[in-house]
């Protein structure tokens, strides 16, 4: 818990100035906000002479009138008319109070006072505030008196990076979203008044509400009460999507798949691996089997994205997609800030599948002319994907048809340490795909045995078989006759007219086989290539 981390750092003397960020607007337990919680659990027991609060909109306020009088006494009444002033005018007097008595100072919306822009583009007001805040963290007199500064920010990336430099002693403290146990306890607290009916149990509600703050959970309960409807699976899903899209929709794409493993043909080895080494261990709580990340390699159109969608549906885990077009911004520091928010948003929904398509183009070590943006984002991504704390909680899955272009740092053990080849479907798999595609589009057919068509479409990808099936429907309806069905003759015509169009399939297949690190994941006909991959 964030409070234990703060207390440990405070007691060890690491710092007397802390920056709490992320879920700082939420209730800590069932009713107390973070400032009230810190007051009750920390400040109240340590005899602070002054407890004050500052933000730009309200200025400087105090916990009670006696503390305000003490502040004016220390500052010789010189700040009486400056309490609602900007930092440049009031901070010098706050500095006097921090050094003159044991004072607890809360600074809210820190990102509005010292924003993350370069110092050169900061206003004079922002630069002066940055100097005061930075110097407070290393002032020995403040430390000796016992004063403590608590800063609050919604997003760490929005706060000036200068204040977090090693030359200062401002300690960042991540205030995470409530875990499943905390959500369940809060849900039971909310539902005990029986003002709203619930069709699901508190533990199910807790699982469904992953990624939500307690405030958002309370909003779901209040909306159900206002609309006079019971809390149900669909109701929570709808409200949750609305909340998450509002919070992270600018940097993350949320995936709500409609297909499961039963709806995709072939890829049996991959599906079996994912169920046995991701879904089942996570459900059972044995995270030791779960790889840090999975890299899906293979030609275009073989179903890599489809497999990820089906995994999300079959597991019931949350699923998001990192889209770099949403991350990259036009202003200095904006891209890095967006990426930090993206990762934090993904992490908040654990267990969550994080999908990165075409990772070879999405993440690169650096390009000339982008002011180090690519390098900064790449470094942040490396650090996040190698964090073992995320094992089994944040499941990174990336797809590529050119693994040879991927930076070796991404492919090392401890990041994307399991490489699964997604190759052209075998004959039996192609027959299964024909059945699934006809059923998917609800096309009528009198075909029973699809093996002849599977044999006739060798080297077709799953996407190309789908194209064939749609072409067959087009042919069947050329004469605009109602009730037409796809016959064997029509399907054969479609195969003849739709030739495989995927470029460099053989080359991409060889790359995927060469990248594979597990013989059990390869079809038999490719195993000899893996055994001799130094010659591939």
What integer pLDDT is reported at residue 366 of this predicted model?
64
Task: Evaluate if residue 245 carries a pLDDT over 90.
Answer: no
CA-wise closest residue to 453 among 479, 474, 425, 478 = 425
pLDDT for residue 435 is more than 80 = yes
Q: Is the pLDDT of residue 368 over 60?
A: no
- Whether 535 has a pLDDT exceeding 60, the answer reads no
In whole angstroms, what is the distance from residue 146 CA to residue 134 CA?
17
CA distance 142 to 147: 6
Rounded Cα distance, 31 and 17, in Å: 25
Q: Which of 271, 255, 252 is nearest to 263 (CA)?
A: 271
Q: What percent of the chain has pLDDT over 90?
A: 63
Of the candidates 27, 332, 394, the one whose C-alpha atom is nearest the C-alpha of residue 189 is 27
Q: Are 164 and 18 in contact (CB under 8 A)?
A: no
pLDDT digits (tens, 9 = 90+) for 182-222: 999 999 999 998 889 999 999 999 988 988 999 999 999 99
Which is more confident, 43 or 315? 43
Instruction: Give the global pTM.
Output: 0.76
Q: Count of alpha carbons within 13 Å of 501, Cβ hemisphere only?
A: 10
Residue 512 burial class via C-beta count within 10 angstroms: exposed 0-12, middle 13-18, buried 19 and up = buried
What mean pLDDT comes out for the span 235-257?
A: 87
User: Is residue 26 within 8 Å of 214, Cβ to Cβ?
Assistant: yes
Q: What pLDDT band is residue 521 in, cutting at 50, 70 and 90?
A: confident
**What CA–CA distance (Å, rounded) separates 124 from 411?**
46
> How confident is the model over 424-441, as a mean pLDDT?
92
pLDDT value for 112: 95
Strand partners, 149: 17, 105
Q: How much of the chain, in percent, has pLDDT values that exceed 70?
A: 95
Which segments of 71-209 are extended strands (E)? Answer: 103-107, 148-153, 170-175
Q: Would you state the pLDDT for residue 536?
A: 44
| Tokens describing residue 174 | 């991540």
The stretch 164-191 carries a mean pLDDT of 94
Residue 273 confidence (pLDDT) above 80: yes
Indicate the average pLDDT of the chain: 90
pLDDT in tens, 81-117: 999 999 999 999 999 999 999 999 999 999 999 998 8
From 63, 65, 97, select the one nearest 79 (Cα to Cα): 97
**294-337 confidence digits (pLDDT tens):** 999 999 889 999 999 999 988 888 899 998 888 887 666 778 88
For residues 36-64, one letter each, b for 16 or more C-beta atoms within 10 angstroms of the residue's C-beta and e for the rest, the string is eebbeebbeeeebbbbbbbbbeeebebbe
The long-range contacts involving 11-17, CB below 8 angstroms and separated by at least 24 positions, are 13/143, 14/169, 14/171, 15/137, 15/169, 15/170, 15/171, 16/137, 16/142, 16/143, 16/146, 16/147, 16/148, 16/149, 16/169, 17/133, 17/136, 17/137, 17/148, 17/149, 17/151, 17/169, 17/170, 17/171
Tokens describing residue 262: 């039963």
Q: Is the per-residue pLDDT at 257 higher than 70?
A: yes
Query: How does residue 531 score in pLDDT terms, banded at 50, 70 and 90?
Result: low
Conformation bin of residue 155: beta by default, left when phi > 0, alpha when psi is -120 to 50: beta
Angle (deg, nearest 10), helices 427-440 and 462-476: 50
Q: Stretch 354-360: mean pLDDT, rounded?
A: 92
Q: Looking at residue 63, what is its pLDDT?
A: 96
pLDDT reported for residue 139: 97
What average pLDDT does this structure show over 447-464? 92
The pLDDT score that the predictor gives to residue 151 is 98
Is 71 a residue whose pLDDT tops 80? yes
Residue-range domains of the chain with CATH: 2-175 (3.40.50), 180-248 (1.10.8), 261-421 (3.40.50.300), 427-497 (1.10.8.60)
Determine the average pLDDT of the residues in 415-444: 92
């Amino acid at each position: 818990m964030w409070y234990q981390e703060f207390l440990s750092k405070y007691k060890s003397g690491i710092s007397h100035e802390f920056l709490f960020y992320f879920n700082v607007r939420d209730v800590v337990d069932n009713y107390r906000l973070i400032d009230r919680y810190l007051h009750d659990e920390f400040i109240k027991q340590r005899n602070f002479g002054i407890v004050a609060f500052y933000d730009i909109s309200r200025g400087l306020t105090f916990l009670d009138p006696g503390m305000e009088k003490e502040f004016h006494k220390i500052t010789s009444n010189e700040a009486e008319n400056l309490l609602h002033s900007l930092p440049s005018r009031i901070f010098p007097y706050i500095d006097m109070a921090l050094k003159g008595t044991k004072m607890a100072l809360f600074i809210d919306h820190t990102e509005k006072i010292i924003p993350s822009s370069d110092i050169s583009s900061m206003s004079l007001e922002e630069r002066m505030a940055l100097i005061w805040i930075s110097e407070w963290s290393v002032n020995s007199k403040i430390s000796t008196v016992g004063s403590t500064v608590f800063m609050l920010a919604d997003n760490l990336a929005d706060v000036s990076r200068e204040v977090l430099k090693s030359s200062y002693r401002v300690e960042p403290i991540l205030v995470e979203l409530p875990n499943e146990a905390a959500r369940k306890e809060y849900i039971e607290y909310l539902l005990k008044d029986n003002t709203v009916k619930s069709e699901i149990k508190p533990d199910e509600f807790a699982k469904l509400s992953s990624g939500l703050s307690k405030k958002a959970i309370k909003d779901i309960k209040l909306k159900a009460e206002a609309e006079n409807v019971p809390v149900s699976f669909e109701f929570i899903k709808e409200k949750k999507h609305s909340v998450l899209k509002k919070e992270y929709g600018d940097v993350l794409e949320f995936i709500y798949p409609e297909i499961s493993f039963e709806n995709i043909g072939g890829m049996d080895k991959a599906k079996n691996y994912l169920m046995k080494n991701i879904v089942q261990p996570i459900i059972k709580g044995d995270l030791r089997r779960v790889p840090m990340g999975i890299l899906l390699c293979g030609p275009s159109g073989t179903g890599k994205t489809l497999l990820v969608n089906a995994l999300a549906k079959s597991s019931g885990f949350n699923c998001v997609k990192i889209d770099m077009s949403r991350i990259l911004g036009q202003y200095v520091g904006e891209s890095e800030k967006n990426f930090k928010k993206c990762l934090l948003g993904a992490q908040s929904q654990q267990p969550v599948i994080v999908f990165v398509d075409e990772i070879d183009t999405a993440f690169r070590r650096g390009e000339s002319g982008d002011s180090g943006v690519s390098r900064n984002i790449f470094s942040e991504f490396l650090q996040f994907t190698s964090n073992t704390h995320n094992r089994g909680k944040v499941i990174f899955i990336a797809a590529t048809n050119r693994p040879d272009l991927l930076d070796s740092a991404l492919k090392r053990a401890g990041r994307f340490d399991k490489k699964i080849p997604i190759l052209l479907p075998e004959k039996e798999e192609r027959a299964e795909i024909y059945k699934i595609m006809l059923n998917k589009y609800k096309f009528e057919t009198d075909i029973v045995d699809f093996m002849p068509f599977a044999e006739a479409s060798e080297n077709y990808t799953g996407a190309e078989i789908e194209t064939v099936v749609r072409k067959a429907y087009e042919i069947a309806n050329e004469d605009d006759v109602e009730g037409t069905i796809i016959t064997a003759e029509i399907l054969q015509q479609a195969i003849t007219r739709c030739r495989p169009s995927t470029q460099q399939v053989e080359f991409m297949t060889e790359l995927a086989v060469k990248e594979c690190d597990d013989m059990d994941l390869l079809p038999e006909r490719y195993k000899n290539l893996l055994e001799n991959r130094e010659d591939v």
